[in-house]
Amino acid sequence: MMECEFCFKLLEEYSRSNKFNYVFSSEDSTNSICRIDYDPQLNSFIGFSSPLIDGLPQPNFFRTENFDELKRWVHNFNKSKLINLHILSVVPSVPALILSAYGSDNKVTATDVSKRWLYIYNQCLVQGVRVIAFSTDGDPHYLKAMRLCSRFFAE
């Protein structure tokens, strides 16, 4: 698994081996140690908070061979304080599938969350799997996205 990449190709095999076509999608964040590391296999720096485009983190955004660019990133980009994790699950007796993991600074909007959920929903459909629910904790960004999606006290 690589940071910021969604493993939808594994979903097809996972759903076939466990004989299901429906999943629950869960998303949550947990604290992490703020540290910048170099991944020589990807020729990329990890530990920065990856920028979001349409709610999705950008994989391998921090690739460079230029020391001045790395210095600029250290000064201009936030370090990841959290690990954001996306999990797909069916029932408690079947192990969950980690769909994606990436560093975050929790500077996300409800629109980012909604766009990310829509992306996950559509990509799962491509694999022949339907997401029947999204769940998360009580973070205000996620609660607002839930309200917007359900049109419950918000539009």
> 82: which DSSP letter?
E
DSSP state of 60: T
Residue 145 confidence (pLDDT) = 79
What token pair was written down for 71? 């210095």
Compute the distance between CA of residue 75 and CA of residue 126 in angstroms, rounded to an integer: 40
What pLDDT is recorded for position 152?
56
What span, in angstroms and rounded, lies between the C-alpha atoms of 2 and 50?
Answer: 13
Q: What is the pLDDT along the chain (155 residues), one digit of tens a residue?
A: 777 889 898 888 888 888 888 999 988 888 877 778 888 887 888 888 888 888 898 887 888 777 888 888 888 888 888 888 899 988 778 888 999 988 888 888 888 888 999 999 999 999 999 999 888 877 777 777 777 777 655 55
- Sign of the Cα pseudo-torsion (106, 134, 147, 139, in order): negative
pLDDT of residue 121: 94
Quote the pLDDT of residue 5.
85
Helices (H), 30-109: 67-76
CA distance 145 to 96: 24
Region of residue 128 (left: phi > 0; alpha: psi -120 to 50; beta: else): left
> pLDDT value at position 46?
82
Domain boundaries, the chain: 8-150
96, two tokens: 């969950």
Residue in the block written with tokens 């999606």: 149
- 52 backbone dihedrals φ, ψ, rounded to 5°: -100, 135
Predicted local distance difference test score (pLDDT) of residue 151: 64
Q: Which residues contact 67 (CB under 8 A, 6 or more apart)?
A: none
> From residue 93, how far is each of 51, 61, 88, 132, 136 by CA, in Å?
36, 37, 13, 18, 20
